[in-house]
Structures are given as structure tokens and as C-alpha cells.
Amino acid sequence: MKKNSLIKKALGVVLASSILIAGCGSTSDGNRNSAGGAEPSAQNAEQNDTQETGTVDIAVTETVSEEVNPFKTADGKPIIVTIGTTSDENRIWDALNAELASRGDDIRVEWINVQQTNQVLADGEVDLNSFQHYAYFEANTADLGLDLTAIGETLIVPLNLFSTKHSSLDEIPDGAQIAIPEDATNQGRALHVLEKAGLITLAEEVGVNGTVSDIAENPKNIKIVELAGAELPRTLEDVDAAIINCGYATDFGLDPINDPIFKDEIDFNDPAQHPFVNIIAARTEDKENAIYLEVVDAYHSEGVYNAILEVYHNAAIPAFDY
């Protein structure tokens, strides 16, 4: 469309130039035409056409510039970006690599299941990491004195209350045992879910990273059992209920939509939910790295969006639009 417009403009200039030359040129007998004068004879007109105006040849040259993909390598070898995770699930990363390939980028993501991933990232053993929400990221990097920065948002994963012994909150008895994640990433959030459910009350000054010691009121004398996240689904036969990350829940065959007796409803308009949005983090010195930002942009695509819904059985919510 732009090329056609330029051609039309160029031809318009040619036409206007021809008109100006024909209108201002002299006749063969030296008499100038004027707006109110008589028309020149056919012979004079022919002479004007051949002698004065001549032929104007203007070549219109089209310049076609191909857009260069800055993420293409000269030899076609991929630029490897390593991402530290705490999961063996690969479908989201496969979707991300498919998106990068569809863009013509010579970038490939390789995910690595590691522990202490913020320290591993800070030490340069991986390029990025993706396993945590803002609340844990800010607390952990402050505790360890790490200079890391969140460069993109991924998803938010509900922590729901499941039970195979009770069908509702009202059935939770006095002295019930409720299992929650022991890790700092999820324990504080799990306690807030129990508070929303009306089972406990936390101290007012507790932030998003509370611990069991921050329980201020416990009218049913709930006994909190702290366990590793992956162990929680298997404890359902031994405890009255458990707060389970929906990833572990679906791996165990639980339905995170229909099985919980209390659901952690996600509302992105609620500022209280923002600390629990998961992120992609980089070393602060790399926060403007064009390749890493391209990875984040590719993550925010339809293919990755759909992969998140598939992996988490529509329970986890992508924290982006595409």
C-alpha cells in the first residue's frame, strides 16, 4: 500500500511538471500565450509539443528493504537460553520454543529443574528462572542479598483446600488436621487461604509470607501439618484436609475446578492477589537483554496461553493477554 502511494505521488509530480512546462513555454512566433489570449494554431501547438515541452522521462525506482530479524544467527545455530525451574513439566516450554520458531528466531529455551534457583540464577548457572511469585521472590532475594529483577509475568496458580473426608467447610471438626506446604513460597499464601475460609485469623501485621506462628485466632483448634508440596495429595487419607497447589493436585488426579471444598478465587483486579503472580526473573544487569525480552514476549503468546490451561486443567490463570 505504501509503495503504490509513493508511485502515485511520483506520477503526480511528473504530470504537474508537464503541465507547467506546456503552459509557460513560448510559441514559435515569439508571442506569449495569456489566459485571455487566442488559442495557438494547430501548427503552433504541434511545434510547442515537439520543440518546447519535449518528453519528460522520470524513472520511478522502488526500493524494497527486507526487515532483518535481529534474532537470526549467521550460521543458523540456536541461541540457547537456560531457564531454572522446579518442575519436570515441559509442555509450556515446548509451546514457547514453538512460538520462537514461528517468529523465525534462532532462540531456543532449555529448562533445568534445580533447587535454590534464585541463587543459581545469581551465580550465572542459568540465564533466567521461572518458578516463583513476587512475594517469595522479593523476600528470598532480600534475605540472600541477590541482585535480580522480574522481567515478565507468567501465571497465577490457585492454592485450594481439598478433602476426601469432608464435603464442605462446615464439616471440618474441632481439632482437625489440615496439611499445608512447608516451603516459604506457598506457606504464607496457604495460611491466607485458610483465613479466607474462616478457619483461622492471622495477626494484623502479617504480610504475604506469614508462618504458622502468625496465627492469632484458631477457634477450632486446627492442627497445622507442614509438608513438602508434592507430598500433600497423598496425605488426604490421613488428614482432614490439605491446601494443595493445583499443579500437584492435577498430577495426583484431583480436579482443581470441582474437587476443592474451598477455592482460592483469582481476581487480577484485587491488589492483594498481585504478590502471588508468578514471574520470569533475570539478573538485574541483564534486565534489558534483547534476547531475554524476546523470550518473555514469546511467552505472552496464544500457544503458551493454551499450554498453561492444558497443563493446569484450566485452574491456573495466565497473567497476560496475547
pTM of the model: 0.72
**pLDDT surpassing 60 at residue 56:** no
Cα 243–246–251 angle (5° rounding)? Answer: 110
CA dist 196 and 184 (Å) reads 19
Instruction: Say yes or no to pLDDT of 132 above 60.
Output: yes
Question: DSSP characters for 31-90?
Answer: PPP-TTSPPPPHHHHHHIIIIII------------PPP-TT--TT---EEEEEEES----
* Rounded-to-integer distance, Cα 98 and Cα 298, Å: 9
Query: CA–CA separation, 322 vs 301, rounded Å?
Result: 5
CA–CA dist 304, 307 (Å, integer): 5
Q: How confident is the model at residue 65 (pLDDT cuts 50, 70, 90)?
A: low
The residue that leads in pLDDT, 210 or 26, is 210
Contacts of the segment 72-78: beta carbons below 8 A, 24+ positions apart: 72/104, 72/105, 72/106, 73/106, 76/106, 77/106, 78/106, 78/107, 78/108
Q: Residue 206: is its pLDDT beyond 90? A: no
Give the cell for residue 291. 534476547
Copy the grid coordinates of residue 245.
497447589
Res 62 pLDDT > 70: no
Q: Mean pLDDT check: name the lowest of 217-221, 238-242, 248-252.
A: 248-252
Model confidence band, residue 115 (pLDDT cutoffs 50, 70, 90): confident
Interval 266-321: pLDDT, tens = 888 888 889 999 999 999 999 999 999 999 999 999 999 999 999 988 889 999 99
* pLDDT tier, 161 (very low <50, low <70, confident <90, very high otherwise): very high
Average pLDDT of the chain, as a whole number: 83
Options 3.30.300.90, 3.40.190.10, 3.50.50.60, 3.90.1150.10; CATH of 159-265: 3.40.190.10
Which has the higher per-residue pLDDT, 225 or 27? 225
Residue 93: per-residue pLDDT: 98
**Residue 93 vs residue 139, higher pLDDT:** 93
Q: Which CATH superfamily groups domain 79-157+275-318?
A: Periplasmic binding protein-like II (3.40.190.10)
- pLDDT surpasses 60 at 21: no
